[in-house]
Every structure is written in C-alpha cells, then in structure tokens.
Amino acid sequence: MDPRVTFRLYVTIGLAVALIGALWALADGSASAGPGGHATADAKVAGIAEVAMPQTATSLPSVQLHATAASNPCAQTPVQQALASGGDDAVVAAFGGGAAFRAAVAAGNAPCIDLSDPHRDWVVVNKARPLSPVTFAPTSFGDPALSVDGAGSLRSDTANALNQLSAAADAAGVGSVALASGYRSYDTQVQTYSGQVATYGQAQGDALSARPGHSEHQTGLAADVVSCAGGCGDIDSFGGTAAGAWVAENGWQYGFIVRYVAGQTPITGYDPEPWHLRYVGVPLATAYHDGGFATLEQFFGLAAAPAYLG
C-alpha cells in the first residue's frame, strides 16, 4: 500500500477515536443533567450549540426588538411622545408620514390609533360607526372668514384650513369658497335628519342625511361649501362650478378631501356630495390623494358602511 494512503488512514482513525472519546467524556460529565442522572442527546446538542454560537444568541434580542418596532410603531418613543402632546400632524409625522400611518392602521399594526376618537383628525364616522359619545361636541370652534347666513362654525383648525383653501381658490381665479353648513350639534342633527325623512321618506332620508350621532358635521371637521364667484351659489350647484372642480383637484393641499364622491355610494351609503369637504389634516390628505383613494373606509381598510346596523 502507498505509504501516503496508510498515513491518511491512520490520521482518520485517530480523529474518529478522539471524537468518540470526547463524546463519552461529555456524557459522563453531564450525567446528572437529566432525570435519573442521565442526560439526553438533545440536551447535549443544545449545550454544544450554546457554546458554539454565542454571537447569534446575543444578537437575537436586538433583531426581535427591531421587528417589533416595525410591526407596532406605537411602541416607538417618538410616537408615544407625539400622542401625549396631542398634535395630530406630529403623530402622523412620527409614524413616518401619511402613507406610513395609513399602512400601519390599515394593517392593524397601530393599536394606539383609535379611528373612533372624535377629537382626532383621523376619526371615521359613518352609518356603521357612530360617534362615541353619541352627543359629542368639539372643544374649540372658529368662524371661517367667508360664510353664508346660518352656516355655523367649524373646529378651529378646520376653519383656519378652510380660510386658506378659499384664499387659494380665489387666487387661482375660480372664486372664493364659503361655508354653507358646518358644525351641527346632536340636537340639530335630530332636526335635520327628521326633516329629510319627513320630506323624502326613510330610505331617501338615510341617503341624504346622517342619523343623529352618525354625522361628520357633529365632529366640526366637515364643511358643506358653496362657490362665491360673482355671488355665492348653493351647495347643489357647487360640483358644476370652476371652484368645485378646483377644490376636488387641490383641496388635499389644505387638508381636505371630498368625502362622498360619485360611484362610492355602496361603500359610504351616501349619494355624491361634491360640496361636502372633510378635514383630515394635510399629511393624511396628501397620502389620500397620492394613493388615489376615494373613501376613508378604503383608506383605512375598513368595511363598507352602506346601511345602518340597526
């Protein structure tokens, strides 16, 4: 036999013997580890792995921490601080912007965001989601610079945003925009809804006006507007005006979306209302516009609400 082959054979046998000896030594040394003084093979393998891979073991908590933060932005300190400060735009920014905020909420990864909180820009009110409490009223009010008689007020930040939108529309040459109907209290909504039902019947009344406690107008975030180019018109004609077209295209820049658009009645439960603007804040309105969304229900991954639950 070739001496070189013989040498390799002896080396291999020697290594095998050494390995067997090491395993026997490990078994003897850990005999007290298992029940009755006998260690299992799994325990031996686990012991070897723990010694051989300390770097992987110590890096796991860090990896898990980052994964948790990514799946639940609410666990991040900037988000918690923004929520505590009360600034809605700051909260959205802490999530990484409107698109990231929307994605987290729609995916169910943001338990700190309550879409039922009527104090927040992101509240969703529809036929399946009444206000809580049902008699909610905003804590701050402001009067827009331009409004028609009996229009009422809006939440103060919404009134300021409408002033900016109106001025921009006027500067664009389409005429200013005035508030025709703003905040409605629960009691007022009782009267409005009852009047629609008395005039048109229950089914049509439900398509034209929200039941008390289900109205966006009760949040102070909704504004029915009219065009005031050469005199203020009425809400029914707004969609056919230059101002109506301009608002539909540019309202998002001032934090507004057109809440009830054509083709979405099966989701919103309402006939199209090009005059009904809903303030959600500039970051969310931007994500809404950029994402091509047509309803808040779609935006936040909520079920359609074509009819009342009871």
Question: 223 exposed, middle or buried (CB, 10 Å; 0-12, 13-18, 19+)?
Answer: buried
Q: How far apart are CA 256 and CA 247, in angstroms?
A: 9
Asked if the peptide bond before residue 130 counts as cis, ω within 30 degrees of 0, the response is no
- Tell me the C-alpha to C-alpha distance, in Å, between residue 175 and each of 11, 146, 183, 212, 255: 95, 12, 24, 33, 19
Q: 256 has which bridge partners?
A: 279
- Residue tagged active-site, from 50, 216, 249, 273: 273
Closest CA to 283 of 125, 1, 82: 82
Q: How far apart are CA 230 and CA 171, in angstroms?
A: 14
Show the tokens assigned to 25: 């030594």
Is residue 273 part of the annotated active site? The answer reads yes
Mark out the alpha helices in the chain (DSSP H runs): 3-29, 41-52, 54-71, 77-85, 88-95, 98-106, 156-171, 186-200, 202-208, 242-250, 265-268, 282-290, 296-299
Q: How far apart are CA 275 and CA 181, in angstroms?
A: 10
Q: Is the dihedral of CA 147, 152, 154, 160 positive or negative?
A: positive
Catalytic residues: 273
